[in-house]
């Protein structure tokens, strides 16, 4: 494992998030590789950490003042062992190869856990949609898709949204794909309902994370009702995590963006959530405005490089739904000291390795992102099925399937952890179960 990690670092220098994701998975896989010598002989993990294909391209576009900008576009096609490449696109200034390598790597395991036939991929750009007009975003998306379209397709690679890519961007991307390829197909997921989208897709990641949390709590004979919950982020995942928490009688008390967080001691109710949805999705404003609108709430600006004070708010459960590495080792220690019983990750890899260790040592119910946030891509898989069948399932039907998938991921994690002598350890369970499914497919398909 040490040689494998050293190889990954040497081959992908400076890609720290990718190294972090590989190290975390590799550590859990030691017992499974010991038990199945064929995985080692066939160099399964060495093959898995090398993407099948990486596409990098220039994305030139013109802003509203006639000025020319050049961004970089990416698509990482990590693994197609169990289905077409599948995973989101992220538009954010922090995007670079290493970030997308980590996300694509995580996606392979996550998608395998969903029980649906999807391989893993990820893409995006260092384009910053913040402060850009609709027309600028449209021109960027069209330029991005003009190149990407030659690499993707409903049987090859099916992108979706992620940070900075919501239904507006998916619409522009889809329009350009259709125009160039002269083909109306399920090449993207997260589409609007009227043109091939699925009900519950916008809600899926947030709802799924809360369903996973319910499953975890149930193992201790507890429920989510009445629990005070910290939620970070204020985008799609956070919004629907809060909505589901309210529906189940829990009390979400925080939301955040990159500038700071709000704490509402009265709890965020339906009416306040509707206001937040309008603020973020329509007016595209900042979370600071929440505290101006609801004066009982307090706003705390982000301290650069400092401890994130959101995690110091006393609560029972934590739902990090913002971004990677948002919970430091110290934040995790604070959460544990405050008696938090559950952490369910709506974001991808929001906890640094030291923080994960703290949660596991303290016996916190800790649901890692690749299990707890798999509901989003799972409903993307259901959107692909509906597109292929040319039918639309009802809200109830999709929600029921989502619940079933989250329960099954939870069961698989528990059973696998048990089998490998780590009862209750969802990190071990998720990594091993996801890996074994992909590894078996790779064995069947030869050295490709
Ligand atoms: N970006 C989401 C994720 O991290 C969804 C991907 C998809 O629906 O393809 O899983």
Q: Which of 88, 105, 324 to mutate to test the pocket of ligand 1 (most atoms within 8 A of CB)?
A: 88
Spacing, Cα 324 to ligand 1 middle (Å): 14
Q: Does the pLDDT of residue 306 top 90, yes or no?
A: no
**Model confidence at 2, in pLDDT bands (50, 70, 90)?**
confident
Name the active-site residue from 86, 122, 244, 437.
122
pTM of the model as a whole: 0.97
Residues 177 and 254 in one domain: no
Task: With respect to residue 338, please indicate whether it lies within any of the assigned structural domains.
Answer: yes
- List the residue whose alpha carbon is closest to atom 8 of ligand 1: 377
Among 350, 372, 394, residue at a domain's last position: 372
Q: Which of 84, 190, 377 to mutate to test the pocket of ligand 1 (most atoms within 8 A of CB)?
A: 377
Residues 228 and 350 in one domain: yes
Task: With respect to residue 418, please indicate whether it lies within any of the assigned structural domains.
Answer: no
Quick: pLDDT tens for 27-41: 999 999 999 999 999
359: CATH:
3.40.50.720
Task: With respect to residue 285, please indicate whether it lies within any of the assigned structural domains.
Answer: yes
Spacing, Cα 313 to ligand 1 middle (Å): 29
User: What's the pLDDT score for residue 301?
Assistant: 95
Quick: pLDDT tens for 56-90: 999 999 999 999 999 999 999 999 999 999 999 99
Does ligand 1 have an atom closer than 6 angstroms to the CB of 189?
Answer: yes
Task: With respect to residue 140, please indicate whether it lies within any of the assigned structural domains.
Answer: yes
Residues 215 and 357 in one domain: yes
Task: With respect to residue 352, please indicate whether it lies within any of the assigned structural domains.
Answer: yes
- List the residue whose alpha carbon is closest to atom 9 of ligand 1: 87
Among 372, 387, 421, residue at a domain's last position: 372
Residues 219 and 102 in one domain: no
Quick: pLDDT tens for 383-392: 999 999 999 9
* Ligand 1 atom index nearest CA of 161: 1
Q: How many domains does the chain have?
A: 2
Task: With respect to residue 130, please indicate whether it lies within any of the assigned structural domains.
Answer: yes
User: What's the pLDDT score for residue 216?
Assistant: 98
* Ligand 1 atom index nearest CA of 87: 9
Q: Does the pLDDT of residue 340 top 80, yes or no?
A: yes
* Ligand 1 atom index nearest CA of 90: 1
Residues 211 and 176 in one domain: no
Task: With respect to residue 292, please indicate whether it lies within any of the assigned structural domains.
Answer: yes
Catalytic (active site) residue 272: no
Residues 109 and 142 in one domain: yes
Q: Does the pLDDT of residue 307 top 90, yes or no?
A: no
Residues 357 and 216 in one domain: yes
Residues 253 and 130 in one domain: no
Residues 165 and 286 in one domain: no
Does ligand 1 have an atom closer than 6 angstroms to the CB of 380?
Answer: yes
User: What's the pLDDT score for residue 30?
Assistant: 95
Quick: pLDDT tens for 133-186: 999 999 999 999 999 999 999 999 999 999 999 999 999 999 999 999 999 999
Residues 170 and 242 in one domain: no
Domain that holds residue 368: 204-372
Question: Rounded distance, CA 126 to CA 129, Å?
Answer: 9
Task: With respect to residue 172, please indicate whether it lies within any of the assigned structural domains.
Answer: yes
* Ligand 1 atom index nearest CA of 159: 9
């Amino acid at each position: 494992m040490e040689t494998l990690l050293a190889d990954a670092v040497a081959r992908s220098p400076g890609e720290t998030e990718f190294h972090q994701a590989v190290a975390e998975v590799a550590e859990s896989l030691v017992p499974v590789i010991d038990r199945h010598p064929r995985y080692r002989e066939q160099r399964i993990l060495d093959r898995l950490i090398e993407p099948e294909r990486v596409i990098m391209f220039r994305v030139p576009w013109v802003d509203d003042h006639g000025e020319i900008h050049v961004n970089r576009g990416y698509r990482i096609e990590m693994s197609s062992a169990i289905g077409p490449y599948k995973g989101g696109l992220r538009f954010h200034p922090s995007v670079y190869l290493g970030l997308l390598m980590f996300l694509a790597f995580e996606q392979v395991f996550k998608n395998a856990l969903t029980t649906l036939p999807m391989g893993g991929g990820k893409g995006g750009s260092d384009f910053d949609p913040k402060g850009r007009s609709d027309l600028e975003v449209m021109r960027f998306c069209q330029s991005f898709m003009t190149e990407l379209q030659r690499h993707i397709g409903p049987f090859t690679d099916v992108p979706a949204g992620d940070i900075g890519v919501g239904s507006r961007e998916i619409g522009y991307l889809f329009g350009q794909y259709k125009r160039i390829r002269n083909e109306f197909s399920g090449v993207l997921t997260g589409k609007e309902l009227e043109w091939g989208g699925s009900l519950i897709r916008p809600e899926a990641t947030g709802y799924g994370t809360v369903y996973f949390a319910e499953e975890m709590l149930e193992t201790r004979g507890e429920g989510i009702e009445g629990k005070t919950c910290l939620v970070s982020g204020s985008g799609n995942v956070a919004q629907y995590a809060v909505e589901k928490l309210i529906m189940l009688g829990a009390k979400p008390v925080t939301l955040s963006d990159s500038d700071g967080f709000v704490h509402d001691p009265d709890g965020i109710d339906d009416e306040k959530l509707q206001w937040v949805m309008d603020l973020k999705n329509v007016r595209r404003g900042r979370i600071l405005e929440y505290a101006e609108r609801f004066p009982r709430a307090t706003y705390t600006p982000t301290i650069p490089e400092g401890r994130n004070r959101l995690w110091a708010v006393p609560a029972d459960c934590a739902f990090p739904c913002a971004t990677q590495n948002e919970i430091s080792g110290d934040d995790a220690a604070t959460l544990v000291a405050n008696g938090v019983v559950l952490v369910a990750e709506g974001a991808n890899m929001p906890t640094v390795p030291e923080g994960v260790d703290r949660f596991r040592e303290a016996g916190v119910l800790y649901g890692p992102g690749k299990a707890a946030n798999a509901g989003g891509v799972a409903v993307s898989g259901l959107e692909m099925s509906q597109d292929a069948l040319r039918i639309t399932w009802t809200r109830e039907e999709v929600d029921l399937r989502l619940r079933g998938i989250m329960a099954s991921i939870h069961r698989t994690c528990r059973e696998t952890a048990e089998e490998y002598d780590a009862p209750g350890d969802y990190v071990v369970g998720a990594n091993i179960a996801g890996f074994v499914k992909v590894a078996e497919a790779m064995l069947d398909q030869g050295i490709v």
